[in-house]
A and B are shown apart, each in its own frame.
Chain A
Amino acid sequence: MADTDPLALWQKMIGEMEKNFNALANQAMTQPEFSKFMNQASGLAAGSQKQLGDLIEKYLLVMNLPSRAQVIGMAERLVTIEGQLNSVIELLLQIKGSGAPQTSPSGPTRPLRTRRPPTSPSGERT
């Protein structure tokens, strides 16, 4: 059935095309000429991207606006601060609850470190 189902054939054909194209392209990419061309192109692209980025950064600075990288940086730092605040809150709650912290700041209650590997019915460790 799958051999004659046009949709299955279509999917198979797409899969084969992908494999063949990837193999062909990979073969071409092993040539030194490709490496030379690619590095020229990517060097150029990275250079112009950097210049454009610097230009936009200067523009945003003049406009007194944060750049995307700064906003992402702030978001990451906020997440970190939130996490640290949660740890402080938990520690405070533990102190309030028991008079002294019983555990480290990173978790409310620590399990015992006594776990043993499960044993198989024959008595051997799995």
Chain B
Amino acid sequence: MSALSSFGVESMPERIQSEVQRAIQRSIKGVEYVASSGPILGSTPKDILSVRGTMRLYHYRPLTEEVYRVPILIVMATTNRGYILDLIPGQSFIEFLLKRGYDVYMLDWTAPKPEEKSLRMEDYVLDFIPHCVRRVQEDSGENELSMIGYCFGGVLALLYGSIFADGPMKNLICFTTPIDFRELKLFANFADRRSFDVDRLIDSVGNMPPELIFSSFEMLRPASRVVGQVQLWDNIWNDEYVKSYRMFDRWATDILPLAGEYFRSITKDLMWDNKLFNGTMSVGGRPAPLSNIKVPILHAVAEHDHIVPYDASKHLIGMVESNDKEEVMLKGGHVSLIAGANATKRLWPKLDSWLCGRST
């Protein structure tokens, strides 16, 4: 190899030509980017089964002539919108499940109204989830169901499963679910009881403002938003990159407020007293130790999760009493694990192979 070629000089004219073309494309696509609204998300056909304030229960229309007997109820995290699991055709977890023959329901959330600031943890665990479970039972005609919880949705599913240990939950799947809240180190420092006056904040604002939640997520990687914008401009000629960026950016900025009392309980019971990890958690006076859970359980965690690091989630499998339990660590981050382009090859098939035999 010549000295010139080792510096890439032979291909430099082509490289320059390509960069000029990209620069032109950037200008054209840049205008398109500003003028267009991005892909439509969450478009898999569904019906609303129940609405109660901040709570929504959806049933997705089956895509196969025959489905597994046991329906799935997905419990979404209360800070985020459920469409992350139903981005666009071909990159939708929901569509994947439907095509594999599952009957899928989702418990999703909208922004709690100011008058819903008094919703407490027990409203979510002892009322909303049991209500949705009953609606799924009525609608599907099946007594049992599998529950999937994503992130804090996993915490809610665990609390439900530990209190209603006698059923009807048949299987439990948690994605990136925190157990040891001390290990959410930055969040724990943000919510340090010596400086964070949660009572004063909630008493003055009512519901926890989404801007504050968004800022705390952003601060986990403070440089990433700026770098993301630079990379977007760099790749704006690439339609696939732009589409993906817009989908994830829209979702990441579409944060929901949290009901005030519910947030107070998360801060005091989980962030400060770490009750889930210590086994002292109770909801509405009902003890909710993870050791009550005996159903088959799968916990999927992400290797590069910066929101729920492995140290915070690794205790789950050891703490439940199930005989049939498995933890799987897959490449990816907190969001790409469940919705990224590689989820179609990693998490989704793994989940299907684990769940199909347990859904009959």
Chain A residues with CB under 8 Å of chain B are: 1, 4-5, 7, 11, 14-15, 17-18, 21-22, 25-26, 29-32, 34-36, 38-40, 42-43, 45-47, 49-50, 69, 72-73, 76, 80, 83-84, 86-87, 104-107, 110-118, 125-126
For the complex formed, measure the closest distance between the CB of B67 and the CB atoms of chain A, giving whole angstroms.
5
For the complex formed, measure the closest distance between the CB of B279 and the CB atoms of chain A, giving whole angstroms.
27
Asked if A116 and B360 sit within 8 Å, CB to CB, the answer is: yes
Per-residue CB contact flags for chain B residues 59-77 toward chain A (1 = under 8 Å, else 0) read 1011011111100000000
Asked if A30 and B186 sit within 8 Å, CB to CB, the answer is: yes
Asked if A80 and B67 sit within 8 Å, CB to CB, the answer is: no
Question: Does B201 belong to the interface (CB within 8 Å)?
Answer: yes
* A50 surroundings in chain B (CB, below 8 A): 204-206
* A22 surroundings in chain B (CB, below 8 A): 221-224
> Of B66, B111, B209, which contacts A115 at CB under 8 A?
B66
* B220 surroundings in chain A (CB, below 8 A): 26
Asked if B59 and A106 sit within 8 Å, CB to CB, the answer is: yes
Asked if B19 and A39 sit within 8 Å, CB to CB, the answer is: no
For the complex formed, measure the closest distance between the CB of B253 and the CB atoms of chain A, giving whole angstroms.
15
* Nearest 7 A/B pairs, CB to CB: A83-B48, A117-B356, A21-B223, A36-B195, A106-B47, A18-B227, A35-B192
For the complex formed, measure the closest distance between the CB of A102 and the CB atoms of chain B, giving whole angstroms.
13
For the complex, give the distance between the alpha carbons of A30 and B186 in Å.
6
B217-244 residues with Cβ-Cβ distance < 8 A to A are 219-224, 227, 230-231, 234
Asked if A117 and B201 sit within 8 Å, CB to CB, the answer is: no
Known contacts A4-B7, A125-B357; A49 and B190 CB within 8 A of each other: no
* B250 surroundings in chain A (CB, below 8 A): none
B103-123 residues with Cβ-Cβ distance < 8 A to A are 103, 110-111, 113-114
B146-202 residues with Cβ-Cβ distance < 8 A to A are 185-186, 189-190, 192, 194-197, 200-201
Count of A-B contacts judged by CB separation below 8 Å: 142
Asked if A86 and B227 sit within 8 Å, CB to CB, the answer is: no
Asked if A84 and B48 sit within 8 Å, CB to CB, the answer is: yes
Asked if A80 and B189 sit within 8 Å, CB to CB, the answer is: no
For the complex, give the distance between the alpha carbons of A17 and B224 in Å.
10
For the complex formed, measure the closest distance between the CB of B44 and the CB atoms of chain A, giving whole angstroms.
13
Known contacts A22-B221, A116-B360, A125-B357; A43 and B200 CB within 8 A of each other: yes
Question: Does B8 belong to the interface (CB within 8 Å)?
Answer: yes
Asked if A46 and B195 sit within 8 Å, CB to CB, the answer is: no
* A80 surroundings in chain B (CB, below 8 A): 48, 51, 56
For the complex formed, measure the closest distance between the CB of B24 and the CB atoms of chain A, giving whole angstroms.
16
For the complex formed, measure the closest distance between the CB of A72 and the CB atoms of chain B, giving whole angstroms.
7
Closest to B353 in A: A126
Question: Does B2 belong to the interface (CB within 8 Å)?
Answer: no
* A115 surroundings in chain B (CB, below 8 A): 64, 66-69, 101, 360
* B61 surroundings in chain A (CB, below 8 A): 107
Known contacts A35-B190, A87-B48; A4 and B204 CB within 8 A of each other: no
